[in-house]
Amino acid sequence: MADLGRRWRRSKGRRWALRVCEHAFVSIKGSPSRRLQHALETGNPLLVRSAAAELPRVGLPEALAICLLLLDAEPDRYPPAAARWAARFVVEHPGVGLGEAQLVLSSLAALRGAGWVGGTEALVALCRLRKVDRAAEVLDVWAERRRAGAAH
């Protein structure tokens, strides 16, 4: 008889003993970081917030993906999320000066309007400069989706 990885077996003294399986069982749903990735792929802000809450820390690239999702799906929530992301960018990269911090903020602000292409290019350049290549990739993918949406 098997029960969730446990097996009953007969011990030497002819008693039945419970032997616990040594293998760890992983949920079908996957890890919290995988759930966040899946939620970001769905584009559902509610799922994204729920998945992000399960993580002890959200990486800078993932946080940027969340900001961009909010920009598209819940624009009123974008400004505070973008400001938090900019603050993290500055804090996590000690060499960032006042001028660069200002450029990060103005690039994020430009994503909201007609200057989104220039804002994207400036932010990609800043991310690559600071070796946050995954964040630059997130921006590239977002920009491609936005261009494709504008073409239709």
Show the domain range for 42. Answer: 32-151
The region of weakest confidence among 26-30, 92-96, 123-127, 147-151 is 26-30
Residue 106 forms part of a structural domain: yes
Eight-class DSSP state of 2: E
Residue 117 CA to residue 75 CA, distance in Å, equals: 17
Q: What region does 112 belong to: left with phi over 0, alpha with psi -120 to 50, or beta?
A: alpha
* pLDDT given at position 20: 46
- Domains in the chain, number: 1
Residue 118 forms part of a structural domain: yes
pLDDT in tens, 45-100: 989 998 999 988 999 999 999 999 999 999 999 999 999 999 999 999 999 999 99
* pLDDT given at position 32: 84
Mean pLDDT of the chain: 85
| Entry pTM | 0.77
Is residue 135 within 8 Å of 64, Cβ to Cβ?
yes
**C-alpha dihedral, 6 to 10 to 12 to 15, nearest 10°:** 100
What is the Cα gyration radius of the chain?
A: 23
- Burial (CB < 10 A; 0-12, 13-18, 19+), residue 20, is exposed
Long-range contacts of 139-144 (CB under 8 A, 24+ apart): 139/64, 139/68, 142/65, 142/68, 143/116, 143/117
Residue 47 forms part of a structural domain: yes
Residue 23 forms part of a structural domain: no
- Is residue 137 scored above 80 in pLDDT? yes
Residue 54 forms part of a structural domain: yes
Residue 26 forms part of a structural domain: no
Is residue 61 within 8 Å of 135, Cβ to Cβ?
yes
Residue 24 forms part of a structural domain: no
